[in-house]
């Protein structure tokens, strides 16, 4: 007759598992960001614009220092005036090639002003176009 050996019941100690898991949770809670970025999505047309077509026929906003120049004579305007003027153009009703607004910023223009102008163009449904350095030099 065979006698069955009494086997020692092996049970892993899992009491610290919960502690480890909760520590990991604290780590993720502390490192997680729930803040979604805010901004605006822009589709900028290819940078190499035809100089023939460029500034002469299309709307141009020129930025120099803290000043905004806009219109056929390049008059100095405030950001609010620019916003109103761009809205008045009713870009939404126009085809994409007629919505282009060129922003010509001088080297000393802070990004804050550029960002405001770009947002105003985007909000008015305009399409931002950039000027190449060579084209800038010609102007």
Binding mask 70-109 for another protein (x = CB under 8 A): -----------------------------------xxxxx
From CA 7, how far away is CA 78, in angstroms rounded?
88
Report the sign of the C-alpha dihedral through residues 85, 91, 93, 97, in that order: positive
> 78, 137, 73: which is closest to 104 by C-alpha?
137
Smaller CB separation from another protein, 6 or 32: 32
Min separation Cβ 98 and another protein, Å: 20
Instruction: Specify the pairing of strand 100-105 against strand 127-130.
Output: parallel
From CA 121, how far away is CA 117, in angstroms rounded?
6
Binding mask 4-43 for another protein (x = CB under 8 A): ----------x--xx--xx-xx--xx-xxx--xxxxxxxx
For position 115 contacting another protein by CB under 8 A, the verdict is yes
From CA 61, how far away is CA 35, in angstroms rounded?
33
Smaller CB separation from another protein, 106 or 139: 106
Instruction: Please give the residue ranges that form the binding site for another protein (CB under 8 A).
Output: 14, 17-18, 21-22, 24-25, 28-29, 31-33, 36-48, 63, 105-112, 114-116, 118-120, 122-123, 130, 132-133
């Amino acid at each position: 007759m065979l006698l069955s050996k009494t086997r020692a019941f092996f049970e892993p100690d899992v009491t610290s598992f919960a502690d480890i898991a909760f520590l990991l949770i604290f780590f993720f809670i502390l490192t997680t960001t729930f803040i979604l970025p805010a901004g605006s999505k822009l589709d900028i047309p290819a940078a190499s614009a035809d100089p023939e077509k460029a500034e002469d026929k299309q709307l141009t906003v020129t930025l120099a220092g803290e000043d905004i120049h806009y219109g056929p004579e390049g008059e100095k305007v405030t950001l609010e005036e620019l916003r109103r003027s761009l809205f008045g153009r009713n870009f939404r009703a126009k085809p994409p090639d007629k919505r282009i607004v060129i922003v010509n910023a001088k080297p000393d223009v802070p990004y804050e002003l550029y960002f405001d102008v770009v947002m105003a163009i985007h909000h008015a449904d305009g399409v931002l176009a950039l000027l190449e350095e060579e084209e800038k030099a010609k102007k």
